[in-house]
A and B are shown apart, each in its own frame.
Chain A
Amino acid sequence: AQRVTQPEKLLSVFKGAPVELKCNYSYSGSPELFWYVQYSRQRLQLLLRHISRESIKGFTADLNKGETSFHLKKPFAQEEDSAMYYCALRASSNTGKLIFGQGTTLQVKP
């Protein structure tokens, strides 16, 4: 079965602390993984995708096929990073269908 699991509903850190949002997936094929973010009163938007191997707003994520994980990391959290983060799996390049995790709320305290 295709599944995305984000084990933490809420992650609370202080400003300047490192952040790691966990994401594990279940998929037998070759997946495409994404992180989407939703800031307060804004739309859901793409943060980064694993195939780009880029850093966006200081965030990075590495696909670990052995551990079936795609954790999102940032070395120094900022207050403006506070948001809801969703990990998503695209199981088939033919349809573009995304399977989302339950989401993790990141709260960065001053």
Chain B
Amino acid sequence: EAGVAQSPRYKIIEKRQSVAFWCNPISGHATLYWYQQILGQGPKLLIQFQNNGVVDDSQLPKDRFSAERLKGVDSTLKIQPAKLEDSAVYLCASSPQRNEQFFGPGTRLTVL
């Protein structure tokens, strides 16, 4: 089966600009996660969707980050405006009903 797809793979922007990431989960997976992985650290959950509803967004900086999962399939994560400390790899993962999580390749964001 096809894995989790993410795009773009790399993005370089200047601070205060906006950026959006896209994730296509494995077909049929109800749960979708966005993680932020800062260099030298483990992934940190930003937001979790169950179908198109938000289950957990307690660690999402809502003043600048937003995410949506329309129709319960694809998802986008947006940062507006970006700060230097947002430089990280953004990982998308999906799972069938909160079981094993399957990760995408990630998007590496550099904010200058």
Question: Would A101 and B100 count as touching, CB distance under 8 A?
Answer: no
Question: Would A102 and B41 count as touching, CB distance under 8 A?
Answer: yes
Taking the complex as formed, is B104 at the interface, i.e. its CB lies under 8 A from any CB of chain A?
yes
Question: Would A43 and B3 count as touching, CB distance under 8 A?
Answer: yes
Question: Would B42 and A97 count as touching, CB distance under 8 A?
Answer: no
Question: Would B91 and A44 count as touching, CB distance under 8 A?
Answer: yes
Residues of B within 8 Å of A, CB-based: how many?
A: 25
Complex interface: chain B residues within 8 A of A43 (CB): 3-4, 103-106
Q: Out of B3, B56, B106, which one reaches A95, CB within 8 Å? A: B56
Complex interface: chain A residues within 8 A of B102 (CB): 45
Give Cα distance in the complex from A88 to B33, angstroms: 15
Question: Would B43 and A100 count as touching, CB distance under 8 A?
Answer: yes
Interface residues on A, range: 20 to 34
With A49-B100, A100-B44 known, 8 other A-B pairs at CB within 8 A are A43-B104, A86-B42, A96-B31, A97-B33, A98-B43, A98-B45, A98-B101, A100-B42
Q: Show 11 residue pairs from A and B whose CB-CB distance is below 8 angstroms, ordered by the A residue.
A: A43-B104, A46-B100, A86-B42, A96-B33, A97-B45, A97-B48, A97-B56, A99-B45, A100-B42, A103-B41, A103-B42
Chain A, Cβ-Cβ closest to B59: A97
The answer to whether A4 and B45 touch (CB under 8 A), given A45-B103, A46-B101, A96-B99, is: no
